[in-house]
Structure 1
Amino acid sequence: MDSRRSPMSTPDPRRWWALAAVVLAVLVISFDMTILNVALPTMATQLHASTSQQQWIIDGYTVVFAAVMLPAGLLGDRFGRRLMLTVGLVLFGAASLLGMLADSPGTVIAARAAMGVGGALIMPLSMAVIPGLFPPAEQGRAVGALASALAAGMPLGPLIGGLLLDHFWWGSIFLVNLPLVAIGITACLLLIPESRDPAAPRVDPVATVLAAGGLAALTWGIIEAPGRGWDDVPVVTALGGAVAAITVLVLRSLRQQRPMLDLSLLRDRSYRWSALAATLVSLVLFGGFFVLPLYLQAVLGSDAFGTGLRLMPMMGGLMVAARLAERLVVRFGPRPVITAGLVVIGAALLLGSRTQTGDGYGFTAVWLPLLGLGMGLSIVPAMGAALATLPPDRAGVGSGLLQTLRQVGGALGVAIFGSLLAGAYTARLDTSGLPAAAARVAHDSVAAADAVARQLHDAALTASAHAAYIHAMDRVLLVAGVVGLLSAVLVGARMPGRAATAAVPAPEGPGTPPLAATAGDRGESPV
């Protein structure tokens, strides 16, 4: 059936139960983006994973997630959103089982990439089923619940991961997904009605390859450049190939009437700037968040659960923001709320960049709640504002584009800030007097340096590694904070106020009537 609901249709009485199940599935996807951060020190030691491999354990998920998101939204629109959501949950569960049984960094990276495929089906389609479940008056609340689940998963991931690692082996961080996925599959089959858009375009395999190849090459080049050098031939080739692939993808999309990468969605200023704000938040948060677990574990000596617990003040700030954001958006509109959230994120990260070698956890506990507060004030209203502009028959492709942009931001955040961290740490670490093999291992990561220091009973190496890591972390947080503040200026200056909000113009094509823009958007330039 077509996803467009008649204004007189009766809402499904099971819709809130269905939403609860979808929220649970989204929460699993969200905390899986960060649950491995707290396990990285353990995996670095037990699986002998280098800093580059640790970055790929995180980015293997986010890169594939972002690349597959575009065709995922179209698959749901074309073949059925409930069907493809269920397929995504099955794939995610199977990949989690593979990760649980992995015995090498390469296998973990492969499992995470497979989880990214499943997650890419789950995330946009969880948003796309809302118009088929809820009448227009309730859709904002439903979108807010999903956006809150996405935001809450980031701080919950390390806590859940830490709890599991303290009582079980590291593979348990994959095992925890299986019962939750089973609940999600059952709910999809029993509670969610099927919906589709008969006029949805076919999946474009060329565009899919261009998106996946371009993003993967870009991420690989950024991750590998600090170690290989920015003038290294494979790095330059990868970065050049990424620019070429993404350029061809954009040009191809602009020539097609109903493309997989539907750039016509960006003609609506509210959608465009809300999506950009969500992308910038993801870039800053994923990059800044990458450095914290290793600091708490390797430098401050927390165990895995203690690390997750020490990240919970961020959850406290997020909970406060969740109570405030909806009322603030109703009163002032999304633009000032999102802008304020980005300012708070930037201020929190700049405060964190003042961390000194002798500081304990107390200083970190001061700025983490501010980070959570800014996250809740920015990401939830930004996603809600973007999705509110989408007509029901374009929910799949529109939410797919939004989530793709967010995941691209997150993947680039990990790649860029991870590379900055690795370069600054390596440059500051003093390995003079160490055997060449031991020095190479110590340069891999602060966890590896600690292991070498324990083996050699070298207290000076431990002190140098901790100081080098704090120096590198401060640099990452400083850059991330500046990017957060610049993002606030950009969004505050360019995002339209509530009067300029318009419906997304639909592309011309069979079965797709044009949607009229509101007066505030008539004649608006798409740039």
Structure 2
Amino acid sequence: MSTQVQSARQTQHEEPLPAGYEKRWWALLFINISLLIIAIDNTILNVAIPSISIDLGATSAEIQWIIDAYGLIFAALLLTMGAVSDRYGRKRWLQIGVALFGLGSLAASFTESVETLIAARAFLGISAALILPSTLSLVISTFPKRERPQAIAIWAATFGIGVGIGPVVGGYLVEHFDWNAIFYVNVPVAIIAIIGGYFFITESRDENAPSIDYLGALLSIIGLFTLVFGIIRAGELGWGHSEVTAALGVAGIVLTSFIIWELLTPKPMLPMGFFRNLSFSSASLSIALVFFALFGTILFLTQYMQTILGFSPFGVGLRILPVAFSMGIASGISAQFTSRIGIKLTVAIGIFLTAAGLMFSSQFYDVDSSYGTIAVGMVLIGSGLGLAISPATDSIMGSVPESKAGIGSAMNDTTREIGGAMGVAVLGTILNNIYIDRVGELVTQLPALPEAALEAVTESIQAAHIVAASPQVPEQAATLIVNTANSAFVEGMTDAMFIGAVIMIASGVFALVALPNRLRAGAASHGAVEIAPSLQPAYATTNGAAAAVPTYQRAYLVPMPDNRATDATTVMTVLRDIYQGDVLVRIGGRVYRGLADAPQTRHRFAHIMRELADTLNASSQHGIEADPTQQYQQGSFPVQVAGGGRTDVSEVVTVLRDVYNGQLMVQYGGQLYHGFADVPATKAAFIALMRETAQLSKRSSAQQGFTTAPDAGAIIGQQPAPPQNPVTVINRRSTSEYPAVGD
């Protein structure tokens, strides 16, 4: 093998270790302690609601605000806080968030009125929005790429376990102390997280982060707040209520405005190009759907076991542990599954397991079910969730640049919150409608009871049990109320779980179709490049001469002869030869030399190449030229030529994207830009070209039966062997050839 190829391969596999690498596992410990606080807080309040209601004299509406104030503020601020942490430092914002969470918890523990408790819960939501995006982005910056799947699996398992043990911790504290204890228990944990994080977590930030997109932040906060508010209220009032439709209408208008603004502004808070990457968009939807199932299930199980089966709050918490433990174990082994069968299959299997658990529960849960039967459903649901969440999260974070880890993490967290809110609202609406319908029939059969009591019976199962326990209600009527309410609740719960199972089955099919099986080379290594990066000069020039530019590293670089930036002619040559000479494809038993030779796609490639030529001509006409002083880290050519393995169109797209967006430093109007796609004169053309290329790779390669040619020797009799070095690179200094992989 030539020295050049060996050096290129070595560069590809060697990775600089992150700062603080030697402390990474300690750092992960204190990152996860910070995460555990807010994970537990998602569910710890559920078992304390009856005590809070009695102690503070809270109405049903006030109780709902105590619950919702946290989630509303939390979800609304996630995107903004993720962007802020990228700019100002993730460790800094994590520590500030944990400190504020501790102070907010202390304040909540001393509240003596409903109003102050609601305010304290809202303050905790602000603090949690500072914490959650920073935890995952710090995992990304602390661990090298080869260790990230395992670290993310531990992070996801911690969150799942926290959600699962919340009712246990809450139940124990309420039974042995009082409801205030569920808040002040956070204070010592926060102190431990702050001290440990100060010594072991290494600061990271986006050194080239643009200034804060204030309008984008405002639009996202208003849009997400009204969206989550509308979803939550839909679960209480019904989807057709005027308050719900108004909130969702405002959310639609504001979020549409947010998207338009982010597409137009040169410094977007959330680059819309992320969503064109299926590893990002499909995994985000998968995350939302699994949390749809998780939050809906936890809500049902706590009410079912506490009200119908009669377990104490602490007993309910203990009996929900199978969800947490199975979720934690499955998250822990998900990295091994992903390495063997890929992201697509791992996520799909997890979603189908969750569907199986929901389907089992819908068929076998009853008013007198044994705990063993309940545990089977919980283990299936928890295992499926754990198996799906970790690789889907890894897919999201692996598809954004490391510099944008904060906003990527925030997007991951936002989809969780919206998915969870949708699960509670949609499945809760199904349960409530069936409950009201069944119990409504009962009311007509009851002896004369006060109107308020009759309304309470139809309001909720808890209220029905309170009415039945009243000494004014005859024993026969009380028994009828309890039996009917229990049966109605279980019927509504199991019907909702059945519908949830159907939704999860559809989600699993979606994951199989849409989710890439493995992160593409560029994405897995260094984060996917935006298809249309925001327009901003990379480095200014002084007196017309290019200023010194640091090495621009990427895992997969097209190696130019002199390891320098090249010009448009070279790009044209490289891309033409990639399409026409480097890729062997097999269609219907015949092998073609390059995708451009395949009859089903020839006209498509001709169109793309014409656009490419027009774009490059436009670039030269606008005075774009290569920066001759720019040095690049030499990588390996990801499209292998004859003599080695073959590749398919997805890798061609990766090369194309990286050449456009990162491999060339171009000078335009006295400024240097990272790649042609950054230049205003060609930005629109490159967006259109990449969109068409992405569609081609997704549709044509899959639908036309493209497969990798496994062995060049096996096809020599069918097709003349391609030359060993088919790609000739020309620039202003020299003419040379790429070395053939496998020499």
Same-fold status (TM-score > 0.5): yes
Which of residues 454, 457, 466 in structure 2 aligns to 1:442? 457
Distance 1:175 1:465 in 2: 36
Corresponding residue number in structure 1 for 2:687: none
Distance 1:318 1:227 in 2: 29
Which of residues 83, 98, 105 in structure 1 aligns to 2:107? 98
1:325-364 alignment, distance < 5 Å: 325-354=334-363, 355-364=365-374
Q: Select between 213-222 and 248-257 the one with higher mean Cα deviation.
A: 213-222
Distance 1:412 1:337 in 2: 24
Report SS of the residue matched to 1:14: helix
Distance 1:480 1:108 in 2: 33
Distance 1:98 1:248 in 2: 37
Distance 1:220 1:132 in 2: 33
Count of matched residue pairs: 523
Report SS of the residue matched to 1:260: coil
Corresponding residue number in structure 1 for 2:497: 477
Distance 1:278 1:226 in 2: 21
Report SS of the residue matched to 1:301: coil
Q: Deviation string for 1:476-504 (max 9, x for gaps)?
A: 21222111111101011111122645422
Alpha carbons of 1:52 and 1:413: their partners in 2 closer, same or farther (altered >3 Å)? farther
Corresponding residue number in structure 2 for 1:155: 164
Which of residues 151, 156, 161 in structure 2 aligns to 1:142? 151
Alpha carbons of 1:41 and 1:423: their partners in 2 closer, same or farther (altered >3 Å)? farther
Distance 1:105 1:53 in 2: 7
TM-score, structure 1 as length reference: 0.91
Which of residues 309, 312, 330 in structure 2 aligns to 1:300? 309
Q: Determine if contact 1:38/1:294 at 8 Å carries over to the other structure.
A: no
Distance 1:480 1:48 in 2: 35
Corresponding residue number in structure 1 for 2:482: 462
| Higher strand proportion | 2
Corresponding residue number in structure 2 for 1:403: 413
1:31-70 alignment, distance < 5 Å: 31-47=40-56, 54-70=63-79
Are positions 1:116 and 2:125 aligned together? yes
Kindly state the Cα deviation for residue 278 of structure 1 after the two structures are TM-superposed: 1.3
| Higher helix proportion | 1
Kindly state the Cα deviation for residue 253 of structure 1 after the two structures are TM-superposed: 1.4
Q: Determine if contact 1:74/1:202 at 8 Å carries over to the other structure.
A: no
Q: Select between 443-452 and 393-402 the one with higher mean Cα deviation.
A: 443-452
Distance 1:395 1:9 in 2: 14
Distance 2:380 2:438 in 1: 29
Distance 1:194 1:499 in 2: 27
Alpha carbons of 1:255 and 1:44: their partners in 2 closer, same or farther (altered >3 Å)? same
Kindly state the Cα deviation for residue 438 of structure 1 after the two structures are TM-superposed: 1.9
Corresponding residue number in structure 1 for 2:714: none
Alpha carbons of 1:243 and 1:49: their partners in 2 closer, same or farther (altered >3 Å)? farther
Q: Determine if contact 1:59/1:415 at 8 Å carries over to the other structure.
A: no
Are positions 1:280 and 2:289 aligned together? yes
Kindly state the Cα deviation for residue 44 of structure 1 after the two structures are TM-superposed: 4.6
Alpha carbons of 1:518 and 1:259: their partners in 2 closer, same or farther (altered >3 Å)? farther
1:316-327 alignment, distance < 5 Å: 316-327=325-336
Distance 2:234 2:421 in 1: 16
Corresponding residue number in structure 1 for 2:660: none
Report SS of the residue matched to 1:257: coil
Q: Select between 343-352 and 232-241 the one with higher mean Cα deviation.
A: 232-241
Q: Which runs of 5+ in 2 are unaligned?
A: 1-13, 540-551, 557-649, 657-692, 699-743
The amino acid across from 2:467 in the alignment is V
Corresponding residue number in structure 1 for 2:513: 493
Distance 1:463 1:109 in 2: 35
Kindly state the Cα deviation for residue 11 of structure 1 after the two structures are TM-superposed: 4.5
Alpha carbons of 1:383 and 1:51: their partners in 2 closer, same or farther (altered >3 Å)? farther
Q: Determine if contact 1:499/1:520 at 8 Å carries over to the other structure.
A: no
Kindly state the Cα deviation for residue 46 of structure 1 after the two structures are TM-superposed: 4.6
Distance 1:434 1:514 in 2: 76
Kindly state the Cα deviation for residue 13 of structure 1 after the two structures are TM-superposed: 2.6
Q: Determine if contact 1:28/1:177 at 8 Å carries over to the other structure.
A: yes
Alpha carbons of 1:304 and 1:495: their partners in 2 closer, same or farther (altered >3 Å)? same
Q: Determine if contact 1:274/1:383 at 8 Å carries over to the other structure.
A: yes
Distance 1:232 1:9 in 2: 52
Alpha carbons of 1:363 and 1:52: their partners in 2 closer, same or farther (altered >3 Å)? farther
Kindly state the Cα deviation for residue 331 of structure 1 after the two structures are TM-superposed: 0.6
Kindly state the Cα deviation for residue 90 of structure 1 after the two structures are TM-superposed: 1.6
The amino acid across from 2:694 in the alignment is E
1:71-220 alignment, distance < 5 Å: 71-220=80-229
The amino acid across from 2:219 in the alignment is L
Larger Rg belongs to: 2
Alpha carbons of 1:54 and 1:350: their partners in 2 closer, same or farther (altered >3 Å)? farther
Q: Determine if contact 2:157/2:329 at 8 Å carries over to the other structure.
A: no
The amino acid across from 2:492 in the alignment is A
Distance 1:258 1:419 in 2: 40
Report SS of the residue matched to 1:39: helix
State, as a whole percentage, how many aligned pairs show the same letter: 34
Distance 1:33 1:367 in 2: 22
Q: Determine if contact 1:270/1:501 at 8 Å carries over to the other structure.
A: no
The amino acid across from 2:464 in the alignment is A
Corresponding residue number in structure 1 for 2:279: 270
Alpha carbons of 1:440 and 1:104: their partners in 2 closer, same or farther (altered >3 Å)? farther
Report SS of the residue matched to 1:258: coil
Corresponding residue number in structure 1 for 2:652: 519
Which structure is higher in RCO with an 8 Å CA cutoff and minimum separation 6? 1
Which of residues 389, 410, 413 in structure 2 aligns to 1:379? 389
Q: Select between 162-171 and 297-306 the one with higher mean Cα deviation.
A: 162-171
Alpha carbons of 1:462 and 1:501: their partners in 2 closer, same or farther (altered >3 Å)? farther
Q: Determine if contact 1:96/1:178 at 8 Å carries over to the other structure.
A: yes
Report SS of the residue matched to 1:162: helix
The amino acid across from 1:113 in the alignment is A
Distance 2:307 2:118 in 1: 23
The amino acid across from 2:137 in the alignment is A
Q: Deviation string for 1:427-469 (max 9, x for gaps)?
A: 3223443311222333442222222221244332222222222
Report SS of the residue matched to 1:330: helix
Q: Select between 501-510 and 187-196 the one with higher mean Cα deviation.
A: 501-510
Distance 2:481 2:454 in 1: 10
The amino acid across from 1:299 in the alignment is I
Are positions 1:365 and 2:375 aligned together? yes
Q: Determine if contact 2:153/2:332 at 8 Å carries over to the other structure.
A: no
Alpha carbons of 1:461 and 1:160: their partners in 2 closer, same or farther (altered >3 Å)? same
Distance 2:278 2:254 in 1: 26
The amino acid across from 1:330 in the alignment is S
Q: Deviation string for 1:287-330 (max 9, x for gaps)?
A: 22211101111111100110011111223422442343221111
The amino acid across from 2:507 in the alignment is S
Kindly state the Cα deviation for residue 85 of structure 1 after the two structures are TM-superposed: 0.9
Alpha carbons of 1:435 and 1:10: their partners in 2 closer, same or farther (altered >3 Å)? closer
Q: Select between 328-337 and 143-152 the one with higher mean Cα deviation.
A: 143-152
| Aligned-CA RMSD value | 2.7
Kindly state the Cα deviation for residue 10 of structure 1 after the two structures are TM-superposed: 6.5
The amino acid across from 1:437 in the alignment is A
The amino acid across from 1:144 in the alignment is A
Q: Determine if contact 2:220/2:258 at 8 Å carries over to the other structure.
A: yes
The amino acid across from 1:421 in the alignment is L
Kindly state the Cα deviation for residue 158 of structure 1 after the two structures are TM-superposed: 1.5
Distance 2:66 2:431 in 1: 16
Report SS of the residue matched to 2:694: coil
Alpha carbons of 1:37 and 1:206: their partners in 2 closer, same or farther (altered >3 Å)? same
Kindly state the Cα deviation for residue 214 of structure 1 after the two structures are TM-superposed: 2.6
Corresponding residue number in structure 2 for 1:389: 399
Corresponding residue number in structure 1 for 2:258: 249
Alpha carbons of 1:294 and 1:53: their partners in 2 closer, same or farther (altered >3 Å)? farther
Corresponding residue number in structure 2 for 1:505: 529
Q: Determine if contact 1:223/1:419 at 8 Å carries over to the other structure.
A: no
